[in-house]
Amino acid sequence: MDAGSLLLFLLIGLAAGWLASRIMKGKSLGLVGDLVVGVIGSVLGGWLFGVLGLSASGIIGSLITALVGAVVLLYLLRLIKRI
């Protein structure tokens, strides 16, 4: 993974984490927290889409995949602990 791809991955993760925190109507986790939620959400969303037989391509598809994963992650975290 080159520097440009890594930067794009982190930016998509940050956007997905921020959007997910707004969708779930919780308090913001801050810049680093949103980034971590978005990056983990990207991996989780990719896995979920694969299990469901869905695919998304391009930047918008990557953002949607990461957003779905981040929302699921926040939901699971809120089941365990109130954040």
Q: Are the CB atoms for 5 and 12 separated by under 8 Å?
A: no
Mean pLDDT of 7-29: 89
pTM given for the model: 0.89
**pLDDT tens digit sequence for 21-45:** 999 887 777 889 989 999 999 999 9
**pLDDT tens digit sequence for 47-83:** 999 999 998 899 999 999 999 999 999 999 888 986 5
Quote the pLDDT of residue 83: 58
Quote the pLDDT of residue 75: 93
- 34 CB-side CA count, 13 A: 20
